[in-house]
Structure 1
């Protein structure tokens, strides 16, 4: 018996490297090396192929801080993460409370998840058509507003588009997080809710005292996923804020749009050094937010 167990462990050790090395190699090649290269290039001035990177120290980051476009990009990105996250999770929690006891809840859950599988570019085009301001040929929303005697609204104007994108983002993303939270709710023993019903607990009391504590770990993971995804917002902004243009107005930019513009939207030579510096800020921002979120969500696990 001991010999067989030893042979089994030896076989597992022999299989470790053949399975481990390919995965680690791909991770290093396609994630770690590009990340390190981005950080290094963030301290240089580089115009791309044919140009030699020149070390400039912190000059790129100083230029970022002095740039209006970068400030708009940074603040808009933080707004999407915070306001969009709060709105998305409030909507997800609301539907979690409703769908748990609802007949046909799984079907509704699948319908709510549908926008998440649609490409962001397609969503942007859809909302662009619905929200467009065009006298005598209004989009659907403005057509309805004018039908009730309300003046049409320039939803996609630079000063409004950030809030429109936030609303679109909440609508498109909520289904994904509803699905995650509902999967966590499904593992909660039903007798806990039955006991709460017998005690006369309200839906809010059941959510606060049963659902929330027993899904806290899943909520923390979902929060991290949201933060990582929201910091990369690009397509919705680019399609809604800049239809027919090469780059949207700077008041609507995000860090993703800023990186794109410094890479491909500059007049003349690209500024890859600046783009990499902005990408470094993105990496630092998401790292800080994820660490803060994990510390805020840290709690002793509840056994059930």
Structure 2
């Protein structure tokens, strides 16, 4: 005689899990849709519009965009102003990044075993709270060159018997801004790296110390590998922020003027100049072309950085 078998009922726990997953799927779009709409409206569409306008000649409100092919790009690359801006921006990205991360790692290793390290960390983070314009005004007083009424830096130099220096001259301002960025930004990256170092089990350092490892060996073999993923993210943040530098350069290099001298420009200053028009006539097409160049540059640098720093995660 044939026996009829009834299918076993799924466990109650599996039924509840399936129902919960179904409810999550139904709630996904109602919660995600507003964020996607805002992302589309304020990032994707303006980016597309910027790319389209970069191939036009447009003076803004009251004018009609006229297609001009790649004229904006060819004129931009041939411009001395853009070449200065491109060079200075790369200096800030690479030299400023190397100096910032070297200082951040140095302070991280010192503060790791230091009493009151959290207080020092908070003090170092303070420049990041100050608005870049206010920070630029403060540094402008520090590096001021005015015989008989010198800024703090030149006052110290003259007190030591040296000649006062024109720190904010067009040929020197890039170096001053780079050093200022390193000083002002290092606290932010110290905070990030310290959070990563705090995750490292203390016994690894204790074992290395018992084995006679030097501070450099402990940094190379423990700290850096264990924080590599965080360093990669911090590097991406620095690259994006360095490409957008504007206020600090504008305040230090061009106080009281329409724009800083060309030798001190960054890509952000170039976009500002073309947007508002140094000759009274804005050129939004040229500004959009530079903005597209900035998007391409940051995309290339971020992709290269992520590839160079790609490494298997270390479990601990």
Instruction: Answer yes or no: same fold by TM over 0.5.
Output: yes
- Within the alignment, does 1:106 sit opposite 2:94 as a pair? no
Aligned-pair CA distance for 1:10: 2.2
Tell whether 2:180 aligns with 1:168: yes
Q: Does 1:26 align with 2:38?
A: yes
Q: Find runs of 4+ consecutive structure 1 residues off by over 6 angstroms.
A: none
8 Å Cα contact 1:247-1:265 kept in structure 2: no
Q: TM-score, normalised on structure 1? A: 0.98
Q: Which residue of 2 aligns with 1:124?
A: 136
Q: Report deviation, 1:12.
A: 1.1
Between Structure 1 and Structure 2, how many residues are aligned? 304
2:189 aligns with 177
**Partner residue, 1:194:** 206
Alignment counterpart, residue 36 of structure 1, candidates 9, 30, 48: 48
Instruction: Give the Cα separation in 1 of the matches to 2:160 and 2:15.
Output: 84
The 2-side partners of 1:78 and 1:115 are apart by 23
Question: Which residue does the alignment assign to 2:58?
Answer: 46
* Separation (CA, whole Å) in 2 of partners of 1:124 and 1:244: 13
Which residue number corresponds to residue 94 of structure 2?
82
Q: 1:220-239 deviations in whole A, cap 9, x for unaligned?
A: 00000000000000000000
Residue 142 (structure 1) aligned to one of 133, 149, 154:
154
| TM-score scaled by length of structure 2 | 0.95
* Alignment partner of 1:97 out of 109, 121, 130: 109
Cα deviation, residue 103, structure 1: 1.0
- Say whether residues 1:243 and 2:255 are aligned partners: yes
Decide which of 239, 257, 269 is 1:227's aligned counterpart.
Answer: 239
> Of 184, 201, 215, which aligns to 1:203?
215
Give the unaligned 5+ runs of structure 2.
1-11
Q: Which runs of 5+ in 1 are unaligned?
A: none
